[in-house]
Amino acid sequence: AQSVTQLDSHVSVSEGTPVLLRCNYSSSYSPSLFWYVQHPNKGLQLLLKYTSAATLVKGINGFEAEFKKSETSFHLTKPSAHMSDAAEYFCVVSLYSSASKIIFGSGTRLSIRP
Amino acid sequence: DSGVTQTPKHLITATGQRVTLRCSPRSGDLSVYWYQQSLDQGLQFLIQYYNGEERAKGNILERFSAQQFPDLHSELNLSSLELGDSALYFCASSVLAADSSEQFFGPGTRLTVL
Phi, psi dihedrals of residue A65, rounded to the nearest 5°:
-145, 145
Q: What SS3 state is found at B84? A: helix
Listed residue (A51, A70, A63, A60) closest to A110, CA to CA? A63
Is B105 close to A45, i.e. CB distance below 8 A? yes
Distance CA A11, CA B96 (A): 34
Nearest to A47 by CA among A28, A26, A21, A71: A21
Q: What pLDDT score does A51 carry? A: 79
* Candidates B56, B102, B105; nearest CB to A100: B56
Contact yes or no for B45 and A102 at CB 8 A: yes
Query: Which value, to the nearest 10 degrees, does the dihedral of the CA atoms of residues B73, A88, B46, A74 take?
Result: 110
Q: Which of A4, A92, A100 to mutate to test the interface with B (most CBs of B within 10 A)?
A: A100
Residue type, B69: F
Q: B100, A94: Cβ pair inside 8 Å?
A: yes
Gyration radius (Cα) of chain B, Å: 13
Residues of chain B found within 8 Å of residue A42, distances taken between Cβ atoms: 107
Q: What is the pLDDT of residue B58?
A: 87
Which residue in B has a C-alpha nearest to residue A32's C-alpha? B100
The answer, yes or no, to whether residue B2 has pLDDT greater than 80, is: yes
Classify residue B91 by its DSSP letter.
E
**With contact defined as beta carbons under 8 Å apart, do B47 and B61 qualify?**
no
Find chain A residues with C-beta within 8 A of B33's C-beta: 102
Q: What is the pLDDT of residue A27?
A: 77
Residue pairs between chains A and B whose CB atoms are closer than 8 Å: 57
3-state secondary structure chain A: CCEEEECCCEEEEECCCCEEECEEEECCCCCEEEEEEECCCCCEEEEEEECCCCCEEECHHHCEEEEECCCCEEEEEECCCCHHHCEEEEEEEEECCCCCEEEECCCEEEEEEC
- pLDDT above 70: percentage of residues in chain B: 96
Section B98-109 average pLDDT: 85
| pLDDT tens over chain A, length 114 residues | 678 999 999 999 999 999 999 999 987 777 889 999 999 878 899 999 987 778 899 999 999 999 998 899 999 999 999 999 999 999 998 876 544 578 889 999 999 999
pLDDT for the residue A77 = 97
**Per-residue pLDDT tens for B46-97?**
999 999 999 888 889 999 999 999 999 999 999 999 999 999 999 999 987 7
Q: A43 and B108: CB-CB below 8 Å?
A: yes
